[in-house]
Amino acid sequence: MSGEKNPRNKNSSEYLQIAIDGTVAAGKGTVSRLIAERLGLLYVDTGAMYRCTALLILLNNLNDKDEDEIIEELAKHTIELRMPTEEEKDGRLVTVLLDGEDVSWKIRTQEVSTLSSVIAQHPKVRAELVRLQKEMAENNDVIMEGRDITHTVLPDAQIKIYLDADPVTRAKRRLSELIGKGVDITLLAILEELKERDERDMIMNLKKVPGVWEIDTTNLSISEVVELITEKADQIASDF
């Protein structure tokens, strides 16, 4: 049934959950979006939710260290994620709606990215966004990617994956992505940024749970990674 949508047996009350953690620029987003399209899953980009929160902080001039103020502001808004429509296929992996407004590109600026990484370390903010992420997985077949999915958000997922790649390979991927967006930055600067991000993630959120399926994407194409995971999903779903 590889390549078919809706892999879950419709007579089953169980939902398929694919949880993917991993380092920056290891390919999590692209891989997740392609698998979601192929199998008809809801793709949840948890990083986009932190970016939306960062955008709210910037728009409302909030104190990014005041967790209670941030949580209070979050409660006033709705964040929705969905697959891009034909009209929205402009390079985005997912369409992100904040109170119904498409902010898919507004949350991809360097300023929002930097702030989202900072607020992701706030325990109360993480707890609230994890609650929202769990809600999304309650009644949908999902593929969810981020930093704490396998051990915190979806600890009972049928498929738990840790994606990684050589730092230089990841930096080159990020450089290509940013150049395509017109950002003027060097490979060395990106390497330094990835190093800092990796260290911060490893201390706070990113970890390999026992039995996780580790996939090194350094020498694998996106399509090869997608095929590997799709085959596993087919096997799991056939048992539902």
Measured CA to CA, the distance from residue 153 to residue 183 in angstroms comes to: 33
Mean pLDDT estimate for the chain: 91
pLDDT of 65 higher than 90 = yes
Rounded mean pLDDT of 220-232?
96
- Report the pLDDT value the prediction gives residue 240, as an integer from 0 to 100: 64
Q: What is the pLDDT of residues 80-90, one digit of tens each?
A: 999 899 999 89
Band of pLDDT at residue 13, cut at 50, 70 and 90? low
Q: How far is CA 24 from CA 5, 8, 12, 14, in A?
A: 28, 30, 35, 31
- Identify which of 69-73, 118-122, 183-187, 205-209 has the greatest average pLDDT: 69-73
Higher confidence at residue 202 or residue 148?
148
Asked if the model's pLDDT at residue 215 lies above 90, the reply is yes
**Separation of alpha carbons 239 and 13, rounded Å:** 12
Residue 41 in tokens:
């899953």
Residue 183: pLDDT band (50, 70, 90) is confident
Would the pLDDT of 192 be above 80?
yes
Residues 6+ apart with CB under 8 A from 150: 19, 20, 21, 157, 160, 161, 162, 209, 212
Q: What is the mean pLDDT of residues 66-72?
A: 97
Instruction: Average the pLDDT over 97-113 and give the result.
Output: 95
Confidence (pLDDT) at 3: 44
Which pLDDT band holds residue 69 (cuts at 50, 70, 90)?
Answer: very high
Alpha helix (H) residue ranges in the chain: 28-39, 46-59, 67-74, 110-119, 123-138, 167-180, 187-204, 222-237
pLDDT at 93: 86
The SS3 of residue 164 is strand
Per DSSP, the chain holds a count of helices (H) and strands (E) of 8, 8
With a CB cutoff of 8 Å and minimum separation 6, the contacts of 76 are: none
Q: Answer yes or no: is pLDDT of 6 > 60.
A: no
Q: Count CB-CB contacts under 10 A for residue 150.
A: 27
Domains of the chain, start order = 17-41+142-227 (3.40.50.300), 45-140 (3.40.50.300)
Per-residue confidence band for 2, with pLDDT thresholds at 50, 70 and 90: very low
For the cut 70, the answer to whether the pLDDT of residue 5 exceeds it is no
Residue 101 has pLDDT above 70, yes or no: yes
In this prediction, residues 21-50 reach a mean pLDDT of 94
Q: What angle separates helix 123-138 from helix 46-59, to the nearest 10 degrees?
A: 130
